[in-house]
């Protein structure tokens, strides 16, 4: 790829699986341009300015894992073609897979990443779609598995489960997506009614399964642990960051979130099997946390 140019263009809010790889390439003297997306809206004008004939790779996620906004990957593909760029377009579709309808051809992507665990498959399995005719080179060497691109014995149980999960997800998506969207909208409304101070960042135009909000002035680590003690499981950052500080202030700041809100962001992910009653319990428990914390403090003092 280097012979065609030395520039990579991506967004400022990509998942760590992308940003860390690009960080290594920057150390190898690749030019990496990060396009902002204030309030979850990708700046397409800046994207068009950045993409040129020296750009060889573009990576744009379809659904953001932090606040659930949907990026116009198809329009990005059109920009690449319009600018006469040789760039390949990669799309991280992990959060979109099974949640919103798309095809690699439909969004104009050359490469698309998906993961089994987002559709009830077994963790550790995933897939990379590659456009027909695209030449790829191995980064690891050994056996000839996966057409010589990734050596090592395949995990057949994980792959078989992934295939069955993908089949079931496709069959159910037309009915499951509206259910998740209804749960998301119901949660938005319940949060605003029961916890007026909450700031909600996800919208009804975003992914159907993600609710992102902030409780200004509170540490989300404390809130998440409190909810865990009540058998309510939410997150304050991507699971892949759980081995160190969960929050990603750089990404959240790039969305335009106020600094005092960033460290209190909580993300709730829904599934079609969730219910409105579960949301009621979640919001009521969250709304009553201060009273219980205050009561516990009084008992401890006594």
- Sorted by where each starts, the structural domains of the chain and their CATH numbers stand as 2-162 (3.40.640.10), 177-301 (3.90.1150.10)
pLDDT tens by residue, 179-199: 999 999 999 999 999 999 999
Q: What is the pLDDT of residue 238?
A: 52
Mean pLDDT of the chain: 88
Q: pTM for the whole thing? A: 0.87
Q: What is the pLDDT of residue 1?
A: 58
Q: What percent of the chain has pLDDT over 70?
A: 90
Q: What is the mean pLDDT of residues 56-79?
A: 96
Q: What is the pLDDT of residue 299?
A: 41
Catalytic residues: 240
CA pair distance 172, 180, nearest whole angstrom: 12
Q: What is the pLDDT of residue 291?
A: 64
Contact in structure between 31 and 19 (CB atoms under 8 Å): no
Q: What is the pLDDT of residue 297?
A: 40
CA pair distance 61, 14, nearest whole angstrom: 6
Residue 237: band (very low, low, confident or very high) from pLDDT cuts 50, 70, 90: low
N- to C-terminal Cα separation, the chain? 69
């Amino acid at each position: 790829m280097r012979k065609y140019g030395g520039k990579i263009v991506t967004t400022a809010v990509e998942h760590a699986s992308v940003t860390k790889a690009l960080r290594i390439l920057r150390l190898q003297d690749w030019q990496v341009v990060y396009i902002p997306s204030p309030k979850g809206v990708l700046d397409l004008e800046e994207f068009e300015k950045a993409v040129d004939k020296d750009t060889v790779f573009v990576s744009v996620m379809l659904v953001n894992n932090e606040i659930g906004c949907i990026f116009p990957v198809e329009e990005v593909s059109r920009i690449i073609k319009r600018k006469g760029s040789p760039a390949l377009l990669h799309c991280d579709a992990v959060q979109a897979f099974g949640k919103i309808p798309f095809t690699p051809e439909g969004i104009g992507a050359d490469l698309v990443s998906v993961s089994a665990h987002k559709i009830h498959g077994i963790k550790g399995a995933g897939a990379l779609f590659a456009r027909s005719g695209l030449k790829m080179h191995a980064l690891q060497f050994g056996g000839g598995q996966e057409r010589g691109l990734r050596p090592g014995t395949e995990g057949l149980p994980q792959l078989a489960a992934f295939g069955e999960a993908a089949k079931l997800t496709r069959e159910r998506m037309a009915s499951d997506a509206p259910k998740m969207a209804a749960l998301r909208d119901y949660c938005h409304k319940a949060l605003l009614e029961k916890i007026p101070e909450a700031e909600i960042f996800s919208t009804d135009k975003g992914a159907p399964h993600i609710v992102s909000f902030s409780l200004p002035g509170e540490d989300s680590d404390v809130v998440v642990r409190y909810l865990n003690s009540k058998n309510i499981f939410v997150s304050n950052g991507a699971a892949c960051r759980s081995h160190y500080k969960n929050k990603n202030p750089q990404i959240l700041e790039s969305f335009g979130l106020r600094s005092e809100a960033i460290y209190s962001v909580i993300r709730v992910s829904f599934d079609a099997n969730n219910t409105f009653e579960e949301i009621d319990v979640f919001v009521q428990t969250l709304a009553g946390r201060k009273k219980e914390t205050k009561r516990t403090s009084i008992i401890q003092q006594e």
